[in-house]
Structure 1
Amino acid sequence: MNSINENNQEYEGIDLDKAQAVLKKNWIWIVIIFVISITSAYLVIRWTKPLYESTSELKLDVEANASELGLVNFGENNNINVISGEIELIQSRLFFNKVIDNIDLNISYFTTGNVLIDEKYQNSPFRVKFIVKDGNVYDKRIYVRLINKTKYQISFDGEDVSGAAEYKTGELVSTPQLNFTLELTEHYDENGESDYFFTINSRAQLISYFERNLVVEPLNLNANTIKIALQDFNRYKARDLVNAIDSLYLNYSKQEKTKENKQKIEWLDNELREIESQLEDYENYFETFTVENRTSDLNEDLKNLILIINDIDSQRLSIKNKSKDIKIFLKNLEADKVSEVNYEQLPRFIGENIRLLNELFLEREQLRLSYSETTFALTKKEQEIQSLKTAISKNLKELYERYQTHLDELIKRKAVLQSDFEKLPGKNTEFNKKQRFFELYEEFYLSLMQSKAEFQIAEAGTTTKFKILSSATLPSQPISPKKLIIMGIGLMAGLVISFVFLSLRYLLHNKITTTLDLEKVTHTPILGTVPKASDKMHDTSLIIDRRPKSAVSESLRTIRTNIQFMMNSGKEQVISVTSTISGEGKTFIAVNLGGIIALSRKKVIVVDLDMRKPRVHLSIEKGSNDKGVSTILINRHEVEDCIVNTRIENLSYIPAGPTPPNPSELLLNGAFENLINELKKSYDLVILDTPPAGLVTDGIIAMKKADLAIYIVRASYSKKVFVKTLNRLVKAHHFKNISVILNATARSSGNGYGYGYYDEKGIASKK
């Protein structure tokens, strides 16, 4: 009983025999899947246009900022900011426009193909000079067919140029879209391609091209290196564009550096001109004073007083200059021109804020290259600038007020000293006053001249802020398609699809195919197997007399022998044959098993109890079903009247008779048991062909009357779940003598010689 319960459980784990059977049955599909996968991968490689990438490597000089501004290296964060700013500059529309202005990308030439097109970069057989009249012509394909060296056709409306007008090469052509001249180049070949097209590239399309294909990224932040990479279907074009970008970036950086130095020098020149004018006035005064007074020496008595007054005047002049600078700076601060003022004389904390403000201005300008005015990043940067400007303005105004207060104090103090000084000769006093101012202006003048010289030296030695470590490479291999990867994907796809396919077939394979499958789901004894007949029987299912040496007949003889061992007491005379559903071959087994036993000189009768779907009378010789079991059980006919003899001696059958409304109730009355007992008196063996046990209860009633119950399972037809019906019957009704026959097995089933020892016509075929 435990073994039967085990059979009701799902079989766990991988069934290797089942997997082998699924693989053997579906191997051709696996081959097809792999062929399709590999072919698809090949087609992808064949029809995907190769994409090339050219790269260059640049090293940025982060510390190359003007040392004259007192900037120092603020560590790795400063490096990141500078590198990020330069990357954004190279990827900005401003820089793309400079590239477009300096490189001839206005027109592109292509050859037409069935699948792929090829750009004729620098090797086009013709060149077009044009003036655009209609902006709609931009980015549209204009098709050209070169007829010969002197003639060509051109179409603005489609690829078909066969009906287009002909023009002469070198001749000016005027159309509503543009005026143009087409000239042949040294790459023209009369035997080469004749169909081409070209596009006049708009600036927007070119900018979009660079945005899609140009990649600038940092390589090593510690080494301050970046990589410029550009992808294109033409490797020569990719290389040339990267080289052009490197050169333009070099020139642009140098121009910006030179422009910065020039602005500083211009400011110094303006200051020097003003001071020179003051010094010239003082020199004229001293010259006149010396001529008129014939001396320039001061009295010893005035020295101490003069020193004090000189100091006060020096402080006043310094304060005035500083106040003047503050006014100028406040004015420039409102106009965002803080870079034009020398703020080194200001307090350090204000100078530091001004330096930060300059950096914010530069960052804002870089953001404007990449973003619109309403962008959050730009708005936030503008807020930072306004906040810092407000703080600087407030600090400068407070400083200006302190200067004015100090200046008032100095004026008051000087007034006291001046009162004493006025007692001295006026000429001597005026001379000393002029002398003091002259010395101050002269010192300031020399300081500005030194600064100007430093800036001029810096301008003369201006270099770029980066170095080209590696020029643009000419790619030898495309970056896509990756042939090995695509083929690997094709193989992997074949493996995955095959695995999924086989897994689904494995999971969906829920039918009994071999005795091994049967043994795994039930412990009911297997009486034997019957191979599938090679030819379909059209007239009768009884074949053992017509094909005595066929595989089916041999298998039934084996089953007959096994039945003898199971019914060895000699008292058992009734065998029931049933199945789970119709179509599993129970009637075929019943009539042929009866026939093979009848050939052993035993009287056998087959009783058709499947009154709902009678088949015995059709399976033997297509007899009548007007009377039979149903009429016997209702006492309409006698048993002897319903027995039909067959062409096989000792084999008879009783048909099911007309279908009654209550087959189960007929089998439950005493008449059915009387029928069995009466037949047992006249026949050695009674075979009951019962209805399917999985559909109706009639078969179970008949099985209880049998000495041996045979359960038919059809290979590759009966599902494994059907065997649960058998196990359930054994458990519920305590059948002791029940066995299974596996019907319609493959020709290779069996042991030893196999059922192929004889062919269907009784002729020996193999051994």
Structure 2
Amino acid sequence: MQTTSNNKIHKDDAEEDVDFSAIIFKYIVYWPIFLVLIVVTSITAFIYLRYTVPIYEVSASILVKDEKKGIDGSSIMESLDMFGSKKIVENELEVLQSKDLLMQVVNNLKLYAPVYEEGRIKDRPAYIISPVTVELKHPESVRQVQKIKFVFSKGSTIKVTNKKYALNQWLTIGKDTLRFIQNKNYEAPEIEKPLYVSISNAKAVVESLHQQILVSSVNKQATVIHFELKDAIPKRGEDIINELITVYNKAALTDKNILAANTLAFVENRLGSVVKELSQVEGDIEKFKSKKGIVDISQQGKMFLDNVGTNDQKVVEINMQLAVLDQVEKYVVSRNEQAGIVPSTLGINDPVLTQLLQTLYELQLQNEKLRKTTGENNPALIGLQDQIEKVRPNILENVRNQRNSLIAGKNTLTINSNKYTSQLKNVPQNEKELLEISREQAIKNNIYTFLLQKREETALSFASAVADSRVIDIAKSSLLPVSPKKFIVYLIAIAAAIALGSGFLFAKEMLNQNILFRGEIEKAVSWPIIGELSLNDTAEPIVIGEGNRNAISEQLRQMRTSLDFLGINETKKKILVTSTISGEGKSFVSLNLAVSLSLTGKKVVLLEMDLRKPKLSPVLNISSDKGISNYLIGKAEVEEIIKTTTVNENLYFISSGPIPPNPSELILNGRIHDLLEYLSQAFDYIIIDTAPVAPVADAHILSKFCDATLYIIRHGYTPKIHVKRLEENNKVRGLKNVAIIFNGLKGRGFGKYSNNYGYGYAYGYGYGEIEVNSKKVKTTA
């Protein structure tokens, strides 16, 4: 039918569109619950903020001086700095995060032994309020966390377990040897303050710090490295990052100085041997001149010496470079994973080789330290050994390529030298011998001059060595904590209150086994819902009358109008009223519907067909001595059982009569058809209040004689399981032309802002002074 079709369309639209305003209004009526929850969660948030340690963010930035990344360094210093490495930012990121550097930071700042001030609820870190810090002799050997209470007393003494110790005095507590030293960060002098120190293994602290410090490059094109650390103590966070930068720069300078010292030692050793050789050659020249009586060399001889001297100098430089390459090759081949003295790269102007050597040295050094501290079975050693094996072939390949290039150049110079030597055939024999000796002198002299120059350059570079990084921003902490953020915490608290309240109300309603919402009925059955009646707690069974304009009266008038959709007219006038179980309000609806129809001037008869538990006779104050049961057994005529009422002159009533032992059999005896036919001729409307369908079959028997069925479902009372089975059961038993009345709707929420569970938010339809809960009907079965 048309009404059913419209109902299905409405359900489809409801499933497709989510009305958020309706959802909000659905729960806002419970605002006191939400208000209480918001207060509770806000108090919880306040307590959380009160006792949660605030976390600050500390950041810093450094600039790595790297030619490969476009850093503009001084060309003069670069020409003197023969061993300045060409930093690669990616490598420096790994170095800065190395646990070796972090271990130095932990030891330097004594982070393995933080001091705390005891509090009533929580302890407070005493990094800047403690007058002393604690230093361990062997911080890496601590096996378990140890808490040691102490008191700093007047006279710079420390009281531990009722014993007094002086500052800087070593003492043994358990298996740890430690001493108390002055705290350079101490800012608020206080005497006799209860403190304690929590001692941890330095390696464990390094592991924790390694996870906390974030080191990253700003972008791929820049050589700026950014540090970030979150710490509960801003000063400690700043000290950690600043100390890390300091340790990093010191390590870089140490590497430079080691390489410079090796080069200087090499030059000094060569100078010693060259001086001896040069002195010997000069002595040979003096002896030859004295013996042969030669005073000077001819112009042709001088030209030979000039040409061959330049050529020989280049050969000497190549020989030195080849010697350096031999040392490098020997170092790389002979060393396994053990670090040794890095050979000098004097005269080798290849930054790639220098960088590769430094990388190899750092990897070998890290491998050696890790092997000593953790043993041979540490998985981290495998990774380091793999990196060493990858670097070593690259160095050997570089050495091989440079050696081939140098040998080719040397061969060319040798050809030129032979060409100059052939020119000596035209020179006298004595002068020829002198030229040979002078040539050797020139070679030694050039070597000597070259070594002197390199020694000065090396010494200058050693003295002026600076770190390959520059601090752009020193470590500074944020002014406000980054965690917890008050606004976010309170926002979460409010959201949690709303979620808890909504979840509780949703669960309370959804887990209810009885029908609460109109939508639950629409989802279960396709029958139209033609009326909704609010619950009224007054004792009046009749709630509609002439001039009544309360909410439930208007609802009954709407329901009366909706009967047209069921096809009720002058020829179809018999309306059966039933429900699933007793107590759903079918008798209440029957009575008030009959009254409502009688107010229109139509003649209405109300039949009390619930022969087992009649309820209407007492309400109307009409005797049930003679009624339907008498008529069905043939002991009364129709005219005898029809009675008038005091409610309205158009309303008539037929009582159930005495309760029979066999109501269903009486209804089936055929006389009920005659009764209804007679009434159809005499009245405009026939309202039949019958028994519930769940326990007995009376309603299904009577339905075939009726034109429409009003099925009562009571809010919060009718079980959902019964509603879900309504249509399925009706296919077998066959109630005719069924429509649903949703009865007993209660207000949701609190006060005047409450709303009902059916359509809309309130009833009244313009009668402003009438509120939803101003009049409630107490339904009767």
TM-score normalised by length of structure 2: 0.69
Aligned to 1:340, the other structure's residue is in SS state: coil
Any stretches of 5+ residues in structure 2 without a counterpart? 68-72, 372-377, 647-652, 748-761
User: Post-superposition shift, 1:480?
Assistant: 1.5
Superposition map of 1:659-698 within 5 A: 663=664, 667-674=667-674, 688-692=688-692, 698=698
1:654 partnered with 2:654: no
Once the two structures are superposed, what CA deviation does each residue of 1:645-674 show, in whole Å capped at 9, x if it has no partner? 9998976323553367xx4x7644524435
Aligned to 1:688, the other structure's residue is in SS state: strand
Query: In the alignment, is the contact (CA less than 8 A) between 2:551 and 2:775 conserved in 1?
Result: no
Q: Which amino acid aligns with 2:436?
A: K
Larger radius of gyration: 1
User: Post-superposition shift, 1:557?
Assistant: 14
* Partner residue in 2 for 1:111: 117
1:384 partnered with 2:390: yes
TM-score normalised by length of structure 1: 0.70
Query: In the alignment, is the contact (CA less than 8 A) between 2:110 and 2:135 conserved in 1?
Result: no
Q: Distance in 2 between matches of 1:568 and 1:429?
A: 146
* Partner residue in 1 for 2:270: 271
* Partner residue in 2 for 1:714: 714
* Partner residue in 1 for 2:484: 481
Q: Which amino acid aligns with 2:98?
A: S
* Partner residue in 2 for 1:538: none
Q: Which amino acid aligns with 1:703?
A: S
Aligned to 1:488, the other structure's residue is in SS state: helix
Q: Distance in 1 between matches of 2:699 and 2:392?
A: 98
Once the two structures are superposed, what CA deviation does each residue of 1:255-287 show, in whole Å capped at 9, x if it has no partner? 333333222222222222111110011122223
* Partner residue in 1 for 2:288: 289
* Partner residue in 2 for 1:244: 243
Query: In the alignment, is the contact (CA less than 8 A) between 1:551 and 1:756 conserved in 2?
Result: no
The alignment-based identity, stated in percent, is: 18
Query: In the alignment, is the contact (CA less than 8 A) between 2:309 and 2:439 conserved in 1?
Result: yes
Q: Distance in 1 between matches of 2:88 and 2:34?
A: 58
User: Post-superposition shift, 1:91?
Assistant: 1.9
Q: Distance in 1 between matches of 2:139 and 2:301?
A: 86
Q: Distance in 2 between matches of 1:548 and 1:692?
A: 31
1:470 partnered with 2:476: no
Distance of aligned partners of 1:248 and 1:659 in 2 relative to their CA distance in 1, 3 Å threshold: farther
Instruction: Choose from 447, 455, 460 the match for 1:457.
Output: 460
Distance of aligned partners of 1:670 and 1:493 in 2 relative to their CA distance in 1, 3 Å threshold: same
706-715 or 256-265, which deviates more: 706-715
Aligned to 2:114, the other structure's residue is in SS state: strand
* Partner residue in 2 for 1:579: 579
Superposition map of 1:331-730 within 5 A: 331-335=330-334, 340-342=343-345, 344=347, 354-355=353-354, 357-358=356-357, 361=360, 364=363, 368=367, 378-391=384-397, 430-473=433-476, 475-494=478-497, 511=516, 529=533, 531-534=535-538, 576-590=576-590, 606-609=607-610, 614=613, 616=615, 638=635, 652-654=655-657, 657-658=660-661, 663=664, 667-674=667-674, 688-692=688-692, 698-706=698-706, 710-715=710-715, 717=717
435-444 or 47-56, which deviates more: 47-56
* Partner residue in 2 for 1:124: 130
Query: In the alignment, is the contact (CA less than 8 A) between 1:594 and 1:604 conserved in 2?
Result: yes
Once the two structures are superposed, what CA deviation does each residue of 1:560-586 show, in whole Å capped at 9, x if it has no partner? 9969x9999999996532235543211
* Partner residue in 2 for 1:158: none
User: Post-superposition shift, 1:683?
Assistant: 11
* Partner residue in 2 for 1:92: 98
Distance of aligned partners of 1:147 and 1:670 in 2 relative to their CA distance in 1, 3 Å threshold: farther
501-510 or 326-335, which deviates more: 501-510
Q: Distance in 1 between matches of 2:419 and 2:24?
A: 115
- Matched residue count: 716
Q: Distance in 2 between matches of 1:684 and 1:442?
A: 141
User: Post-superposition shift, 1:198?
Assistant: 1.0
Distance of aligned partners of 1:175 and 1:109 in 2 relative to their CA distance in 1, 3 Å threshold: closer
User: Post-superposition shift, 1:525?
Assistant: 6.1
Q: Which amino acid aligns with 1:459?
A: F
Query: In the alignment, is the contact (CA less than 8 A) between 2:140 and 2:203 conserved in 1?
Result: no
Query: In the alignment, is the contact (CA less than 8 A) between 2:327 and 2:343 conserved in 1?
Result: no
Q: Distance in 1 between matches of 2:38 and 2:393?
A: 68
Distance of aligned partners of 1:444 and 1:179 in 2 relative to their CA distance in 1, 3 Å threshold: closer
Aligned to 1:255, the other structure's residue is in SS state: helix
Q: Distance in 1 between matches of 2:439 and 2:774?
A: 139
User: Post-superposition shift, 1:95?
Assistant: 1.5
Q: Which amino acid aligns with 2:34?
A: I
Distance of aligned partners of 1:674 and 1:302 in 2 relative to their CA distance in 1, 3 Å threshold: closer
Q: Which amino acid aligns with 1:447?
A: F
Once the two structures are superposed, what CA deviation does each residue of 1:31-50 show, in whole Å capped at 9, x if it has no partner? 24433443443333222201
Aligned to 2:218, the other structure's residue is in SS state: strand
484-493 or 687-696, which deviates more: 687-696
Once the two structures are superposed, what CA deviation does each residue of 1:440-494 show, in whole Å capped at 9, x if it has no partner? 1112221222222222222232222222223232543222112223233334445
Distance of aligned partners of 1:556 and 1:723 in 2 relative to their CA distance in 1, 3 Å threshold: farther
Aligned to 1:576, the other structure's residue is in SS state: strand
* Partner residue in 1 for 2:750: none
Q: Distance in 2 between matches of 1:321 and 1:682?
A: 136
235-244 or 746-755, which deviates more: 746-755
* Partner residue in 2 for 1:38: 42
Once the two structures are superposed, what CA deviation does each residue of 1:76-110 show, in whole Å capped at 9, x if it has no partner? xx7xx622222322221222233344434453211
Superposition map of 1:149-228 within 5 A: 166-168=162-164, 176-178=174-176, 189=190, 194=194, 196-219=195-218, 222=221, 224-228=223-227
Any stretches of 5+ residues in structure 1 without a counterpart? 155-164, 536-541, 762-767
Q: Distance in 2 between matches of 1:151 and 1:304?
A: 85
Query: In the alignment, is the contact (CA less than 8 A) between 2:627 and 2:657 conserved in 1?
Result: yes
RMSD: 6.4
Q: Which amino acid aligns with 1:109?
A: V
Q: Distance in 1 between matches of 2:270 and 2:489?
A: 70
* Partner residue in 1 for 2:744: 744
Query: In the alignment, is the contact (CA less than 8 A) between 2:607 and 2:688 conserved in 1?
Result: yes
Query: In the alignment, is the contact (CA less than 8 A) between 1:512 and 1:717 conserved in 2?
Result: no
Query: In the alignment, is the contact (CA less than 8 A) between 1:608 and 1:616 conserved in 2?
Result: no
Q: Which amino acid aligns with 2:54?
A: P
User: Post-superposition shift, 1:512?
Assistant: 5.5
